[in-house]
Structure 1
Amino acid sequence: MPTPKFILDLREKIGHDLLWLTGVTAVVLDEHEQVLLVRRADNGRWSLVSGILEPGEQPAVGLIREIQEETAVEAEIVRLVSLESLPPASYPNGDQVQFLDLCFRCRPLRGEPRVNDDESLDVRWWPLNDLPELTDREQASIQNALSPDPTPVYLTAEPS
């Protein structure tokens, strides 16, 4: 994923120090019980559509932008699924980040999935009963998005 200009500008000032960012994740589900996944160019893994918000960008607007940019699918937000602080992470160049991630359930409006930028190697719908290997967090996001309870998932205490 190309690094947004605002992050490059910040890195000039703070170097590799921990940078707190807002991320957004989409669980795009169609009427055939399929989920939209992208195969990431940076690590080759299948993943939910995700991205980083630009400064001042509204989360739902930013996520709709990310879905369209990465997959060519136009979608709309159905509901907020979860809100969580992810563990700190380091990139190979030494940059340290930590994300506050907002995950939304979305539904497609129009467009056929295709690779639409240089961040993905492949894009397609996957049946929920035949998903590729996903992270535990992504699997939980899909399960939470499928829940009939519309209450977003969030922690009310620090994990022990």
Structure 2
Amino acid sequence: MPTPDFIREIRASAGHQLLWLPGVSAVVFDDEGRVLLGQRADNHRWALISGIPDPGEQPAAALVREVHEETGVDVVVERMVSVRSGKSVTYPNGDVCQFMDLCFRCRAVGGEARVNDDESLAVGWFALDALPEMTDYHHFRIKQALADEPTWFEPMSGG
């Protein structure tokens, strides 16, 4: 995903130090029960659609915007699936980030899946029994979106 302008402004004074950032991701289903995925331009891997909310933007609104910007698909957010803080990532330019991912289950309500910006090489709908190779965390979020369970979060350790 391209770096938002507000993060570039922060980096101008913060340098490469760790930035802790919100992120949103979507498990989007169509009427046939297929899931929407994008093949990322930065690493060529298939993934759920994700992005970074703008300052002051509500997470669900950010997700609706990101899905449309990246895929041309219009969605309605149905519920939160999971909340997870990932490990820090160091990018090739030396920037370090850690994301708090808020994942939502969404339903497609319009548009047509297509590469809609330069963040994806391909976009498509996939049957659950024909998903491309993805990380375990992508599979976990899809499983949670299909389950009739409360929002998943990492349990506290210790006590």
Pairwise TM-score range, normalised by the shorter structure: over 0.9
Counterpart for residue 27 of structure 1: 27
The 5 A counterparts of 1:72-87 are 72-87=72-87
Counterpart for residue 110 of structure 2: 110
- Please report how far the alpha carbon of residue 105 of structure 1 lies from its aligned counterpart in structure 2 after TM superposition: 0.2
- Please report how far the alpha carbon of residue 148 of structure 1 lies from its aligned counterpart in structure 2 after TM superposition: 1.6
TM-score normalized by the length of structure 2: 0.97
- Please report how far the alpha carbon of residue 48 of structure 1 lies from its aligned counterpart in structure 2 after TM superposition: 0.3
1:97 aligns with 2:105: no
Query: Which 4+ runs in 1 deviate beyond 3 A?
Result: none
Aligned residue type for 1:84: R
Counterpart for residue 122 of structure 2: 122
TM-score normalized by the length of structure 1: 0.96
Aligned-residue CA RMSD (Å)? 1.0
The 5 A counterparts of 1:30-69 are 30-69=30-69
Percent of residue pairs bearing the same amino acid type: 53
Unaligned runs of 5+ residues in structure 2 are none
- For residues 61-81 of structure 1, what are the alpha-carbon distances to aligned partners after superposition, in whole Å with 9 as ceiling and x for unaligned? 000000000000000001000
Looking at structure 1, the residues matched to 106 and 93 of structure 2 have their Cα atoms a distance apart, in angstroms, of 33
Aligned residue type for 1:153: W
Unaligned runs of 5+ residues in structure 1 are none
Looking at structure 1, the residues matched to 39 and 80 of structure 2 have their Cα atoms a distance apart, in angstroms, of 24
Aligned residue type for 1:95: D
